[in-house]
Structure 1
C-alpha cells in the first residue's frame, strides 16, 4: 500500500482527502453520490479523490447499490487492512493488547496476567504476545502504524522510564519506551491509564454524546480524567486529574503521604484493607473480600465502605466546584462497585449543591485498552491525512 505524501499535497486537495476519509471512517460504506452530499465536494473533485484513494489501497469497491432503476451506483468502503494501530493496557495484574483498524474495528485482542517480575520481563512479555497476535490474525506487521500504551505512571520523555508506576516494578530504571519500541519496530506513545479510560468511555462507553464529564478510576489508587467542551484536558505537565493528592482524608502536611497522595492514602485498596482489619475484619482480606463481607452484613466492611465513599464524595464535590461536569463516571475495582456508587450518590448532596449524574463505567476493565486504540487512531490519522479526526477517540459514531 502506498504511503500518503501529505507534505507534497496542495492544501485544497489535502482538505478534500480529509473530508472523504472522515466520511468513510464515520459511516462505513458509501456511494460516490452520497459521498458528495456528505462532504460538499464537487463530483469531479470527489471522484478524483476516491480514485486516488482506491489506487493507494485506502478504499475498495464493495458492491453495488440495489433497489434503484437504471445504472447501479458502486459502493465503496474503507480498506481495513490498509493500516492498523496497536493498543496496550499495562496493568499491575493484567496485560491487555489489541490491534484495530482506523475505522475502530478491533481485529484481534488478547489478555493475560502481567509478569510480576516487571521491567525487562514485561517488555519481553508484550513483545511475545504481540508477535503471537500478529501470527494468529494474519495482520501484516508492516501495516501497523504505531502503538499506544496505557499505564498507571508518568512517562519521562528524556529517559523513556515510567515513573510512579507503583504497581509495576522495574519500569522506572530502564528506557522502557525505547526498548519496547525497538522490539516491536513501532513508534510508541505512553499515556496515562486513567486518561485512556476516559477516552474509552467517551468513544465507546457511557459518556458518548457528553461533552463535559469526569472519569474517576478508583482501585489500588485513585485518579481522574476530564473531558471539557469535548476535549480531554491534561494541563501543562499532564497532571490534571492527579486527585490522589487532594488534601482530603488525612494530614496533607504529613510527608508520609507525599508518595501516594493524601486522598489515595485513605481511599485506595491498601487503605481499605488496613481499616477493615482495624475494625475487626479478617486479616489478609482483599477489596473483593471486603465487598463480599459487606453483602453478608459485616459491620467492619460497612464502616470501611461508608468512610471511603464519604471521602470520595468530598473529592467529587471539589471537582464539581472547579469543572462543573454534567456526568461523573466511576470505574476501577472499587469505584465501579454498586455499593460505592450508591453511597457516593447519597453523600454528595450533603457536601455540595452542584448536581451531576453519577454512573458506573460501561466498558469495565477494557476502558483503558479501548482508549489507547482511540488515541492511536487519532494520532495516525493526524500523521497520514493532516487531521486528528477527533470523532474517533472523543466522539461516537452516528
Structure 2
C-alpha cells in the first residue's frame, strides 16, 4: 500500500478551540467578545484558543473597529483558502465531485458517468476523479488533505463500511479501506443525507436553529436531523429514516422489506411504477408522468396526490416525535412539488399534534452538486474534530483514519 501522508490538522486541541473555530466558521466575522458571549467561554479562554489558529493561518484578525465604549474590537474571520477539501457523491449512474474551501464554497465541479456499479469500477472512478480534481490547481494539490465520500444507504461512518446501499446493491462493503489503497488523502465515508445536513447546519438554512430536519425527495426519501445543535446519528448509525416510516397499511412492498413505507409510495421510482400500472404504459418516464399530470390527467394526478399524503404523514410523524423548529424540504423531487404541495401541507397540518403543526416548512432547490458539497462538508468536519473529545462539537463519531 502506498504510504499515506500525515494530515496537517488545524491546532484544535481542546473542546474550547473547537467551539471557537466553529463559531467563527459559521458566524464570522465575529469579535472575541461576541464569541465569548455566544459560547459561554471566558474572554481569556477565547483568546487562548484562537491564538494557535491565527498562527497556523486558519483564522485572521481583521482591522480593529470601534464598537462603542471601550477598546476597539478586532473581529476574527476564517481564512477560507487556508485548506481545500474534496467531496464526491456516488450515485448508481455517476460520480459528482467538488473542490471547496473551508466554508464549503464550491470552487470546482466535475461529473463522471459510471460504466458499472461494480465495486472495483466505482473505487477506480473515485480515485480517477480525485486525481483530476487535484490536477486543476497547484494549490489544490498542496493544500488538500481530506476527502469526503457519500452514498445513499446505511453507512457506518466510524469504520467506513457501507452496510447497505439499495441503489448500488452493495452490502457490507469496506469502502474507506478500499479507497485508502488508491487515494492519498484522509477519507471519511458517510450517508449522503447526513452529510448535506452537516452542510445545512453550518452554511445553510440550519444556521441559528437549535433543531431542524432536512428531508430530501427523489430516487430515495431521506431525512437528516439536528437536535440540540447536534446532528443525530443514532446508536447504530441509523436515524431520521423518514422514508421507511409505514404510512399506508395496504401500501406496496418497499425494498427494505416492509410495506407501505413513504419511499415505496412517494419516491421518484415509486411514482413512475404507480403511473405505469395505472395507465398501462410500461415505458413512461418521470418527466412524462409530471407533464401528463400537469396537463390534467386525473389518474396521474391521483398518483401524485397519494404521494403527497404519504410525505405529509411522514413529516408529521417526525415533527411529533422530534419537534424541530423548521423542516427543510429539498431534492430533485421538488421538480414536481406543485403536484402534491397541497396534499403535503394539508396532511401535515392534520396529522401534526398541537403546536407541532406550526413547524416552519422551507422549500429549497438542491442542485446535484450540492450533494457533493455535503461530502466536502464532512471532510471539513473531519479536519477540525476535537482531538480530546471526538464528536463533542460536531455531533458525529470520529472518522476512519489511516
Using structure 2 for the length normalisation, give the TM-score.
0.76
Q: What is the rounded CA distance, in whole Å, between the counterparts of 2:60 and 2:203 in structure 1?
A: 26
1:138 aligns with 2:138: yes
Find the counterpart in structure 1 of residue 372 from structure 2: 369
Find the counterpart in structure 2 of residue 350 from structure 1: 350
CA contact (8 A) 1:327 1:359 kept: yes
Find the counterpart in structure 1 of residue 292 from structure 2: 293
Displacement of 1:310 = 1.4
Shift of the 250–265 alpha-carbon distance from structure 1 to 2, 3 Å rule, reads farther
CA contact (8 A) 2:84 2:101 kept: yes
CA contact (8 A) 1:57 1:82 kept: yes
The residue matched to 1:313 in structure 2 has which SS? helix
Matches within 5 A, 1:313-332: 313-332=312-331
CA contact (8 A) 1:6 1:384 kept: no
Displacement of 1:157 = 7.2
Displacement of 1:260 = 6.8
Matches within 5 A, 1:167-246: 167-169=167-169, 171-172=170-171, 175-246=174-245
Q: Deviations over 1:169-194 (max 9, x none)?
A: 5x547532212122111222211112
Q: Supply the RMSD in Å over aligned alpha carbons.
A: 4.0
Find the counterpart in structure 2 of residue 396 from structure 1: none
Displacement of 1:55 = 5.3
Q: What is the rounded CA distance, in whole Å, between the counterparts of 2:305 and 2:238 in structure 1?
A: 29
Query: In terms of mean alpha carbon deviation, does 80-89 or 236-245 score higher?
Result: 80-89
Q: What is the rounded CA distance, in whole Å, between the counterparts of 1:211 and 1:318 in structure 2?
A: 19
Displacement of 1:95 = 2.2
The count of residues paired between Structure 1 and Structure 2 equals 376
Query: In terms of mean alpha carbon deviation, does 34-43 or 141-150 score higher?
Result: 34-43
Displacement of 1:280 = 1.6
Matches within 5 A, 1:1-398: 3=8, 15=16, 21=21, 25-26=25-26, 35=32, 41=43, 46=47, 50=51, 56-58=56-58, 78-155=78-155, 161-169=161-169, 171-172=170-171, 175-251=174-250, 258-259=256-257, 262-263=260-261, 264-280=263-279, 282-335=281-334, 337-339=336-338, 340-353=340-353, 354-355=356-357, 356-383=359-386, 390=393
Q: What is the rounded CA distance, in whole Å, between the counterparts of 1:352 and 1:5 in structure 2?
A: 44
CA contact (8 A) 1:155 1:163 kept: yes
Find the counterpart in structure 1 of residue 39 from structure 2: none
Which one has the largest radius of gyration? 1
Q: What is the rounded CA distance, in whole Å, between the counterparts of 2:160 and 2:20 in structure 1?
A: 37
Displacement of 1:152 = 0.4
CA contact (8 A) 1:330 1:336 kept: no
Give 5+ residue unaligned stretches, structure 1.
Answer: 394-398
Q: What is the rounded CA distance, in whole Å, between the counterparts of 2:350 and 2:123 in structure 1?
A: 47
Q: What is the rounded CA distance, in whole Å, between the counterparts of 2:166 and 2:7 in structure 1?
A: 43
Q: Deviations over 1:295-349 (max 9, x none)?
A: 1111221011011111222222222221122322222222563223332012223
